[in-house]
Amino acid sequence: MRRLATTTAALLLLSGTAFAQASFDQVVKDLEQQGYTNIETVRATNQFQIRAQRGGEFRQLVYDPKTGKLLSDEVVPLQDRDQLRDMDGDGDGVPDRDRDQDRDRVDAPDGGSSGGSGASSGRGN
């Protein structure tokens, strides 16, 4: 009896995973039928992302991989897609990996630099 319960529980867990995978595959097919291209899937422990492009828009769907529940569905203009990948959460739309010293220098209201080493950026301030 205990063996039957263990086997049944294992089958239920596996069937849920297989069902979720089949659902994600169907989402990809649906996106293709809607004209989306450059479809990529990203699997992580706590989420499953599907990213796609159509015309001038970028779409990102995020699912719970265990339940298959849709957590978010974002559509932004293609040029704004990095806002969805802004991992530092400051809302500036610039992923940390794209930062450099010149772009990050902020001019103080008095015309001086509010940070950095004080060296000129070569912009002719």
What does the H/E/C string look like for 68-90?
CCEEEEEEEEHHHHHHHHCCCCC
Using left for φ > 0, alpha for ψ between -120 and 50, and beta otherwise, residue 44 falls in beta
Range name among 27-31, 34-38, 39-43, 110-114 with the lowest pLDDT average: 110-114
Q: State which residues form the domain around 64.
A: 38-87
Q: Is 81 inside a domain boundary? A: yes
* Residues facing 118 on adjacent strands: none
Asked if residue 53 is part of any domain, the answer here is yes
Asked whether residue 62 carries a pLDDT value surpassing 80, the answer given is yes
Residue 82 has pLDDT above 60, yes or no: yes
**Residue 42 counted as domain residue:** yes
Q: Is residue 52 part of a domain?
A: yes
- Decide if 22 is inside a domain: no
Total domains, the chain? 1
